[in-house]
Amino acid sequence: MKSRTMKSSVSLLTAAFLGALSMVAPNPALGLETSFDGLERVESRRIAIAYLAPDADFGVFTRVKILEPTVAFRANWQRDQNRNRTRNISTRDMERIKADVASLFLEVFEQRLTSGGYEVTDKVGDDVLIVQPAIIDLDIAAPDTRSGSSQRTFTASAGAATIYVELFDAATGQIIGRGADRQASRVTGGFMTWSNRVTNRAEARTVLQRWADALVSFLDEQYPE
């Protein structure tokens, strides 16, 4: 297992994400964009928006703890879906989908981090980086409500979502990193496909794998050779 320096626990919270982006301002003294809590914006090839604490030492982290992700649909998603459906999407349907997405997120991220050489743990310690994810603006094009209906919905995309991550040092609780990125499912060739729970889950897994691989690559970049 590789010993890697990881930023203090990753916290993906919708409110924090919106607040962080709205409170970023240029810091003339540093010549960099700086967040309200002192994180500096850095360039990343994999993540659209990334901030790091300038004095963060990722070398002390050898393990990662992934917290339960927050999942939130885009505004008015339920209303928009119900305008064009023979069976309405209920609040129970939405809670089930959110639980499924959160569970799949944990499964995929643990797999990819482990295969990338990071030890995933449920413990805390001075060598642990905590990652808490939030999936926001979740937009599923054709959700399966498990109604038993024979109706089929054909779409060119299973949907899209934004991931927001904050990294924390488990020992101090200090935030040392923040990132955000939006992904949409990619249907091969752009052809219309039948969307149901199986196809939606497969597309969601692909998107989550891209996010997890981006996080692994981002963490790799923080470690000295």
* Number of separate domains in the chain: 1
Chain-centre distance for alpha carbon 126: 24
Please tell me the predicted confidence (pLDDT) of residue 184. 78
Is residue 3 one of the residues assigned to a domain? no
Is residue 214 one of the residues assigned to a domain? yes
Please tell me the predicted confidence (pLDDT) of residue 153. 47
Asked if the model's pLDDT at residue 29 lies above 50, the reply is: no
Is residue 207 one of the residues assigned to a domain? yes
Is residue 63 one of the residues assigned to a domain? yes
Q: Which domain holds residue 105?
A: 9-222
Is residue 1 one of the residues assigned to a domain? no
Is residue 44 one of the residues assigned to a domain? yes
CATH number at residue 205: 3.40.50
State the Cα–Cα distance between residues 169 and 58, nearest whole angstrom: 9
Question: Average pLDDT, whole number, for the chain?
Answer: 77
Per-residue pLDDT reduced to its tens digit, 175-206: 999 999 988 766 554 444 445 566 677 888 88
Is residue 4 one of the residues assigned to a domain? no
Is residue 49 one of the residues assigned to a domain? yes
